[in-house]
Chains A and B, each alone.
Chain A
Amino acid sequence: EAGVTQSPRYAVLQEGQAVSFWCDPISGHDTLYWYQQPRDQGPQLLVYFRDEAVIDNSQLPSDRFSAVRPKGTNSTLKIQSAKQGDTATYLCASNPTGFGNTLYFGEGSRLIVV
């Protein structure tokens, strides 16, 4: 069974540039999460979807961050006008809907904004 796949693995941007991260979850997993993990901190939830619907995006900086999952499978997280404070690893995870179900993580996309 293929795991969660993310790309690109690394990105280096100047402030003000844009970047998109792509995630392919495990087949059959209807719930997909995007987490931001700053260096030496734990993952912090940005947004999560059930199928194509956004369930919670309350922690997503909506002025510059956006996330979509149009067909309920793959997902894209976009950062417009990146800032140095966005430097972090962006983790995608998926699981089947259900209380306490294990999250399966991708390897992450590491972003450095200079």
Chain B
Amino acid sequence: AQSVTQPDARVTVSEGASLQLRCKYSYSGTPYLFWYVQYPRQGLQLLLKYYSGDPVVQGVNGFEAEFIKSNSSFHLRKASVHWSDSAVYFCAVSPNSNNRIFFGDGTQLVVKP
């Protein structure tokens, strides 16, 4: 069965520090991979997605993610976080062409001033 694991329920970083949020998925094929963000009292919004090509994909607001097939990972990174990046970040996978998308349990990011 497909699964998405985000091992860190909560990550706290200082403003201006670098960030990595971890994601591992379980699927034998080549899925679509996504990162979504959920700000307080808002719906989920797409940050970036990856299917093929350059394994480092750029997203909005300076976020990027790297696909490492050998490790089944798709970690999210940002070089310098801002207080407004505080939110919950969800990794998701779409394993085939039937439009189903599976989400991890999310990582709450807290950026300290």
Contact across chains for B103 and A43 when beta carbons are under 8 A apart? yes
Q: B105 in the interface, Cβ–Cβ < 8 Å?
A: yes
Q: Which A32-74 residues sit within 8 Å CB-CB of chain B?
A: 35, 40-45, 48, 50, 55-56
For B, the interface residue count at a CB cutoff of 8 angstroms equals 27
Contact B32 A108 (CB under 8 A): no
Residues of A in contact, count (CB < 8 Å): 29
Q: List 24 A-B contacts (CB under 8 A).
A: A3-B43, A4-B43, A40-B9, A42-B4, A42-B90, A42-B105, A42-B106, A43-B90, A43-B103, A45-B102, A48-B100, A93-B44, A98-B99, A99-B32, A99-B94, A99-B96, A99-B99, A100-B94, A102-B34, A102-B49, A104-B43, A105-B44, A107-B42, A107-B43
